Structure 1
Amino acid sequence: MTEEEWAEHRPAVFGVAYRLLGSVADAEDVVQDVWLRAAAADLSDVKDRRAWLVTVAARRSYDVLRSARVRRETYVGPWLPEPLLTGPDAAQPVLVDESVSTAMLLVMEELTPPERVAFVLHDVFEVPFGEVAGVLGNTPAASRQLASRARRRVAAAKERPRASRPERERVLTAFRVAYETGDLEGLVRLLHPDAVYVTDGGGKVSAARKLIVGGRRVAEVLQRVRGRHALGHAVPCEVGGEPALAVFRDGVVTVIDTFEFGADGRIMAVRRVLNPDKLAHVTLAP
């Protein structure tokens, strides 16, 4: 395989790995493994090289996913996906659809590894069930059933009404201003009364280990944490195809916030990644 062909197909290889693992670092490891295998293989008889690469990436990711599930049982506090910068902030080309959003990755995290593989390969990357079965070691009928179960779970999440993209961006701009100016009541107005606040510190930094529920309580905690840890400016960015905020301290990204919005535009969830291991790949200017 030439480097030009690899550059063309790399976004798909990374895309399947990230959707399966929810980790940029693990996905990059899979990409490297797939490249080494592709570079050494004789692919002259392979007609659809994208499909071959995606399948190899899925097989390797499936192995990693099963071991990752065991590691997450001992993870300290809530687990959130590693933020994937998209749009103009992306370091490399990224295949973006709703399946890379934080909310959707959390839904897929509730699936079994075989369900997740079957859904991502077939529904996102259009891999035939015969090849999905080869990855999972089952039959096409069994793979079809796994994808169907996963599809029902994902469809339930997709059906939740939410505000339009322009409205979400408007609300997030107002949220950023209220957050940086210490406007507690402004934050409360932007948060749904039943809003939740989730923090992922992974035991590496101080973070709440339980969900915080209630718009006013979430607003109060956000303001208290900002003052206590001397967090700096919040910079708009795009994570998983959705508007997000990166918060800096001493010129370094120490927080990535992603959001879930209701139909009326109010914020239903603030999901904050603080674990420095999950932010090591984030390159943004303050």
Structure 2
Amino acid sequence: MKPTGAPAEADWNAHRPAVFGAAYRILGTVAEAEDVTQEVWLRACAADLSEVRDLRAWLVTLAARTSYNVLRSARVRRESYVGPWLPEPLLTGPDAAAQVLMDESVSTAMLVVMERLTPAERVALVLHDVFDFPFDRIAEVLGNTSAASRKLASRARARVAAVKERPRASRAETERVLRAFKAAADAGDMAALVALLAPEAVYVGDGGGKATAARRPVRGAETIALLAVRQIQIRRPDASEIIEVNGCPALATYRGGELVWLDTLEVADGRITVFRRLANPEKLLRIGHI
């Protein structure tokens, strides 16, 4: 039996992907987005919705306002984060437990850039460019004016434009490069690894102080190739699989059934330009084991 005042189950199920999607894009973590989604549900249950004309907009507005408050309080924790920060991966595709609102703004590359925005810029960009909210409504969430919200969204859009302009490899090409990189790293084939990497490629590792990872981005094909081989030799993983996270192929690598790292790539002209390895075990929990 649904709680008194709760949205109808069918309505909630229809709008939940948008609620979670707004929270995840603003926060960049699955755990916090799930908490926000649950809070939105509870507050919706306690509210009088009889005068609400657009339930989806009402729920997304509540999710954005809640996420904005969470993000502002989380800034101190993120500023003290050990090493580079990568977003918590969101399992998508056929293996996802629940439907997710998908578009380019949920990609790992986009979320990495969005992390550099201020909380207000991030909210303005998500609400306007993803959910098509008018600026007067965004102003209500941010506690400013319509003109100020417009300026925030414009500034944020300019900062993420470079990501949208990057060439994007097809899914098949990304999977091919992922498999080739793994095979070369497993074999310790430095020449093959270097050939797969653009000369100015960048490697970003996120261990969060809880797993071994480079504390700064690593640059250069040869240096990255050597690092990849050493990590295989140290961790000695015994299984891997291609999965879909954030709408793109990723390589999940396991040892003893436990996920030890997750690799995502940016590929251009058949070569890796950005290699991201997420090893923080707290961020890998929701991907699971084999």
**1:280 lines up with 2:280 in the alignment:** no
Cα separation, 1, equivalents of 2:106 and 2:181: 23
Which residue matches 1:71? Answer: 77
Identity of aligned residues (%): 63
Greater alpha carbon shift after TM alignment, 83-92 vs 129-138: 83-92
Cα shift readout 1:208-258 (whole Å, capped 9, x = no counterpart): 111111111111111111111122222101111111111111101121111
1:269 aligned partner, one-letter code: V
Which residue matches 1:268? Answer: 273
Structure 2: unaligned runs, 5 residues or longer: 1-6
Greater alpha carbon shift after TM alignment, 146-155 vs 29-38: 146-155
**1:165 lines up with 2:171 in the alignment:** yes
Alignment check: 8 A CA contact 1:162 1:265 kept: no
In structure 2, the CA distance between the partners of 1:66 and 1:282, relative to structure 1 (3 Å rule), is: same
Cα shift readout 1:140-160 (whole Å, capped 9, x = no counterpart): 111111111111112222112
Which residue matches 1:231? Answer: 237
**1:112 lines up with 2:118 in the alignment:** yes
Which residue matches 1:154? Answer: 160
Cα separation, 2, equivalents of 1:46 and 1:281: 34
**1:14 lines up with 2:20 in the alignment:** yes
Cα separation, 2, equivalents of 1:149 and 1:165: 31
Cα separation, 2, equivalents of 1:98 and 1:89: 19
By how many angstroms is 1:169 displaced? 2.5
Give the TM-score, by structure 2 length: 0.94
By how many angstroms is 1:196 displaced? 1.4
**1:137 lines up with 2:136 in the alignment:** no
1:162 match: secondary structure: coil
2:236 match: secondary structure: coil
Alignment check: 8 A CA contact 1:192 1:215 kept: yes
1:127 aligned partner, one-letter code: F
Cα separation, 1, equivalents of 2:231 and 2:176: 24
1:246 aligned partner, one-letter code: A
Cα shift readout 1:89-126 (whole Å, capped 9, x = no counterpart): 21211111111111100111111111110000010011
2:37 aligned partner, one-letter code: V
1:148 aligned partner, one-letter code: S
By how many angstroms is 1:284 displaced? 5.2
**1:95 lines up with 2:101 in the alignment:** yes
Cα separation, 2, equivalents of 1:129 and 1:284: 43
By how many angstroms is 1:172 displaced? 2.1
**1:26 lines up with 2:32 in the alignment:** yes
Coordinate RMSD, CA, aligned: 1.3
Between Structure 1 and Structure 2, how many residues are aligned? 284
